[in-house]
Amino acid sequence: MEKVIEVVEIKKAFGGNKVLEGVSFSAEAGKVLGIIGPNGSGKTTLINILSGVLTQDHGKVLFMGMDISHEKAYVRAKLGIGRTFQIPRAFPSLTVWENLQLAQLHSGKEVSIESVLKRVGLYELRGRYSDKLSLAQRKRLELARALMLKPKLLLLDEVFAGMNPASIWEVSEVIKGLKEEGLCIIMVEHVLSALMPLVDEIIVLADGRVIYWGDKYGAFKEEKVRRAYLGEKYSSFGV
């Protein structure tokens, strides 16, 4: 399988505090890669670097074999990298439909708004202004917006956070469907119960370093992972 995204020795620091200290990994089409780790381990920064919102201090990002390390965010979006935000950023003065219409115009891809809205379950709310939506609905809107780009790589930043179980199930189905269609999906997530069924591989980030990358079941056997995740005292708990 050809690698959709490859990340080589990514380093990033804000002022003195180093957030990412040499992160490397890759992911293929049709695979879901989960990224977990305690707060402040650099997960969201990593997503921002992959999507071009931030630029790394050091290291390379390859997408479908092309080096996009220094491409701007809107160029990466056009290439087919869609993303959602930890705190949803819908455009308040535009309706749901207008949000997607904007994405359709600028992505230049032939994707029908109606089908995407139906897929994420927002079709009935298409005329509503996005600041009138609930948190979960706004997350679906962001997912829909990303799908308008006909993405090959989808970056989901804690899409399940704050969602009720029913929506979690629905969105999981959508993600499964996308996976079958051959999308490569990277999910940063804390809701492990929802994440585990979806992912093929897991990366555990701690203090800006990858301390585990591999099959999802092996992750929690690792002593380092438990200590990083559950803290010193409880690391041996429930072994």
Q: Is 16 in the site for other proteins (CB under 8 A)?
A: no
Residue 232 phi, psi (nearest 5): -50, -50
Count of residues interacting with other proteins (CB under 8 A): 30
Cβ pair 12, 54 in contact under 8 A: yes
Stretch that binds other proteins, among 26-34, 105-113, 162-170, 197-205 (CB under 8 A): 105-113
For other proteins, give the closer residue by CB, 17 or 93: 93
Task: Check binding of 102 to other proteins (CB under 8 A).
Answer: yes
CB of 150 to other proteins, least distance (A): 11
- Tokens found for residue 98: 């207008």
Residue 187 bridge partners (DSSP): 34, 156
Instruction: Give CA–CA dist 97/61, Å, rounded.
Output: 33
What CA–CA distance (Å, rounded) separates 84 from 90?
Answer: 10
Nearer Cβ to other proteins (138/226): 138
**Contact with other proteins (CB under 8 A) among 93, 166, 217, 232:** 93
Place of tokens 């992959």: 50
- DSSP structure class, residue 152: S
* HSE-up (13 A, CA, CB side) for residue 103: 29
Rounded-to-integer distance, Cα 182 and Cα 165, Å: 26
Which CB sits closer to other proteins, 83 or 216? 83
Task: Pick out residues in 133-162 that bind other proteins (CB under 8 A).
Answer: 145-146, 148-149
Q: Which of 13, 94, 111, 192 binds other proteins (CB under 8 A)?
A: 94
Among 52, 74, 76, which Cα is nearest to 66's? 76
Strand ranges (E), the chain: 3-14, 17-28, 32-36, 58-63, 66-67, 81-83, 153-157, 184-188, 201-206, 209-215
In terms of Cα–Cα distance, which of 133, 114, 119, 219 is closest to 173?
119
> Please, which of residues 160-199 interact with other proteins by CB under 8 A?
none
Tell me: does residue 89 bind other proteins (CB under 8 A).
yes
Per-residue x/- track, 53-72, other proteins (CB under 8 A) = x------------------x
CB 154 → other proteins: shortest distance, Å? 12
Q: Which of 70, 106, 132, 224 binds other proteins (CB under 8 A)?
A: 106
Point out which span in 5-13, 14-22, 45-53, 191-199 binds other proteins (CB under 8 A). 45-53
Minimum Å gap between C-beta 82 and other proteins is 7
When asked if residue 122 is in the footprint of other proteins (CB under 8 A), the reply is no
Q: List interacting residues with other proteins (CB under 8 A).
A: 51-53, 72-75, 77-78, 82-83, 85, 89-94, 98, 101-103, 105-108, 145-146, 148-149
